[in-house]
Chain A
């Protein structure tokens, strides 16, 4: 039993902090300080800074551009990044399709795709969900039909495709064998967004950001060499991807930062003549949430220690997802509560609230998604019930 990090790990943490202190570009730092909202070009600016440092893909093997860190270093790095308020990097290339290509792709695919994911030259999005295939993903209907000339012809609709409007490539689950049962006929296909017949139409979220799209495929011709792994073997790979390191899914770092923001707002919000942060009942509320978060942090460390020992993350990671996503929402709810009537402000067009508060209402609305995406919390509970508790169903 040991709760501490080693001196080496602590030294590593200091190195990361020092880097974050000195190397964050001023325009990003300025926004981070007021908890601003980052546009895609700012996210990519930051991506490139980390790329130049060699830190953009902590979980990639060293020979493919990773920094060669162990699980603890990766976790420490992630935690410090999230706390810094710098933009969250787009996960679709670095954390999703990249690792999948590393594990299942052929050499040509590795050479073609990995360097540009790493450098940020090509941006990716994820085309899994469809209008009628959400939680029941395996019922997806987008088809890819072999044209006999070395191509698949893709038809169908993907939906909720996050930031597809900015993406150069989309990785999709498509049905390549309609006669097979559900999971069996699905392939993992990489599609260039510039392919004729591919169209991404942005939709507004409740936070009023154009954060996701409907993505349409009309007779889009895609070379067969863009299938990763065996044809009709996509489902297993997508599942395997979920088995990758999942210690970040609790968003502990983000919530740590969100709580700091709550405290900052509470320190300049006045109740009965003194800062709300000094009010007993609000302090209790903040403490209650912080303790929930600290409990999750320890839980996360346990998962991390398991990963250090090389254990594959099991269904326990659903614990992190369930509690972590709830805490993310509760941080924003508390921020709104602390703001009182200022929580009415919608994008602050008249500077009516301090700059650091102007995105709170938008995030409060958008973050209702954390319990829906990435496997809804109901589905996560089903997983625990079945896989851990052994209940029938």
Chain B
């Protein structure tokens, strides 16, 4: 047993922490998709993140951090990636590492040939492009196997048609990784977002970011755009979703620890009835519960971070579902307590605690919600205890 970070990992975590100084929450506020609710000005940044910062992240090596060196990555572990995600979560850094590097890139890594990986991931690793995975469909909920988008082979080309929802970073990505049903089953395709027949509708999300609905009508692709072998897309997407879920747990832990200390600090400075409200035991106990949940989030996020890239599928699923279910229950408890203990100011858009609440809620709704992970966990071999 060893839960200590080694020196390299400490350096990595420190450099990510250092980075967040240049990207405080005020930066996120400037970039977030805003508006709706008939409140105030409608500022709506169309991208919600900045290519120049993406390039800085590339220079730090983060955009290929856990990719093998053979495709241009740093060759570090996925766990190392989660250290960065945790730190960036603390100030709500909006650049799409989770969506582009972990989720979409993860699908390419698990589903495409090495040549294709180099071609698709290479420019992203350099910070020139970003990716989006378009896997979800209406009525499919969290089932990546629910695919009615079709890819038909016609001579040497593929014709793609269908509709995808909630493609994270789909509004900004140059390349979409799309799942579609072919004769052999579910297959992955690489689709340039500006290809003829691709219609992208950008939608604001609760956390101030954006995602896209992608409509494909007879999009013509070449045979080289089929990733890997026909019919092997599903395991690749499922693995990518597990990587993303583990990433979300790390980010969620970053958020939880941030709002925990923000709240503890507030309990010390806010006075009512002539005393710091932190002297009321009812509030102390609630803060302690936040602390306990945050520690459990840390433990389970570490578990998921270490196992999400495991070659044993059941080990991977088990660890990720434990962590994601803990995030759903514990993460929620932490952010809602944080608002409660802030009182009225916690309901203002001006205060940061609500931004963290929103991001945590979005993380809980992505990559399988509590119900999905509980039922997946319960269907793993060995659950019956025989």
Residues of A within 8 A of B (CB): 37, 39, 129, 132, 134-136, 139, 159-160, 202-210, 269-272, 281-282, 329, 333, 336-337, 339-341, 343-350, 352, 361-362, 364-366, 368-369, 371-373, 376-378, 381-382
Chain A residues closer than 8 Å to B207, beta-carbon distance: 344
The answer to whether B272 and A343 have CB atoms under 8 Å apart is no
- A204-B349 contact given A346-B33, A365-B354, CB 8 Å threshold: yes
The answer to whether B201 and A209 have CB atoms under 8 Å apart is no
Chain B residues closer than 8 Å to A134, beta-carbon distance: 272, 343-344
The answer to whether A347 and B35 have CB atoms under 8 Å apart is yes
Chain A residues closer than 8 Å to B201, beta-carbon distance: 350, 352
What sequence of 0s and 1s flags, for each residue 360-386 of chain B, a beta carbon within 8 Å of any chain A beta carbon? 011001100111000100000000000
Q: Does B136 contact A (CB under 8 A)?
A: yes
Q: Does B100 contact A (CB under 8 A)?
A: no
The answer to whether A204 and B40 have CB atoms under 8 Å apart is yes
The answer to whether B357 and A206 have CB atoms under 8 Å apart is yes
A200 to chain B, nearest CB (A): 14
Q: What's the tally of chain B residues with a CB closer than 8 Å to chain A?
A: 55
Chain B residues closer than 8 Å to A341, beta-carbon distance: 136, 141-142, 165-166, 365-366
4 A-B pairs besides A205-B39, A208-B36 with CB distance below 8 A are: A135-B343, A204-B348, A269-B141, A346-B36
- A271-B40 contact given A206-B358, A372-B344, A378-B280, CB 8 Å threshold: no
The answer to whether A349 and B166 have CB atoms under 8 Å apart is no
Dominant secondary structure of chain A at its interface with chain B:
mixed
The answer to whether A372 and B165 have CB atoms under 8 Å apart is no
The answer to whether B38 and A209 have CB atoms under 8 Å apart is yes
Interchain residue pairs with CB less than 8 A apart (10): A160-B344, A203-B349, A206-B346, A210-B39, A337-B371, A344-B203, A345-B206, A347-B36, A368-B357, A369-B344
A31 to chain B, nearest CB (A): 13
| Cross-chain contact of B362 among A271, A344, A348 (Cβ < 8 A) | A344
**B311-362 at interface with A (beta carbon < 8 Å):** 332, 336, 339-340, 343-344, 346-350, 354, 357-358, 361-362
| Cross-chain contact of B340 among A206, A371, A381 (Cβ < 8 A) | A371
Q: Does B58 contact A (CB under 8 A)?
A: no
Once the chains are docked, how many angstroms separate the CA of A272 from the CA of B346? Answer: 38
- A362-B344 contact given A203-B349, A343-B361, CB 8 Å threshold: no
The answer to whether A203 and B166 have CB atoms under 8 Å apart is no
Q: Does B227 contact A (CB under 8 A)?
A: no
Once the chains are docked, how many angstroms separate the CA of A269 from the CA of B74? Answer: 42
Dominant secondary structure of chain B at its interface with chain A:
mixed
The answer to whether B365 and A352 have CB atoms under 8 Å apart is no
- A345-B203 contact given A203-B348, A209-B38, A378-B282, CB 8 Å threshold: yes
A161 to chain B, nearest CB (A): 11
Once the chains are docked, how many angstroms separate the CA of A26 from the CA of B147? Answer: 40
| Cross-chain contact of A362 among B36, B143, B348 (Cβ < 8 A) | B36
Q: Which residue of A lies closest to B36 (CB)?
A: A347
Q: Which residue of B lies closest to A203 (CB)?
A: B348
Once the chains are docked, how many angstroms separate the CA of A277 from the CA of B324? Answer: 24
Chain B residues closer than 8 Å to A203, beta-carbon distance: 348-350
The answer to whether B213 and A350 have CB atoms under 8 Å apart is yes
Q: Which residue of A lies closest to B338 (CB)?
A: A368
- A368-B346 contact given A349-B204, A381-B282, CB 8 Å threshold: yes
The answer to whether B349 and A352 have CB atoms under 8 Å apart is no
Q: Among the interface residues A135, A208, A269, A344, which one has the most CB atoms of the partner chain B within 10 A?
A: A344
Once the chains are docked, how many angstroms separate the CA of A136 from the CA of B273? Answer: 6
- A209-B203 contact given A134-B344, A135-B273, CB 8 Å threshold: no
Once the chains are docked, how many angstroms separate the CA of A210 from the CA of B37? Answer: 8
Q: Does B182 contact A (CB under 8 A)?
A: no
A378 to chain B, nearest CB (A): 5
Q: Among the interface residues B36, B140, B343, which one has the most CB atoms of the partner chain A within 10 A?
A: B36
The answer to whether B202 and A350 have CB atoms under 8 Å apart is yes
Q: Does B7 contact A (CB under 8 A)?
A: no
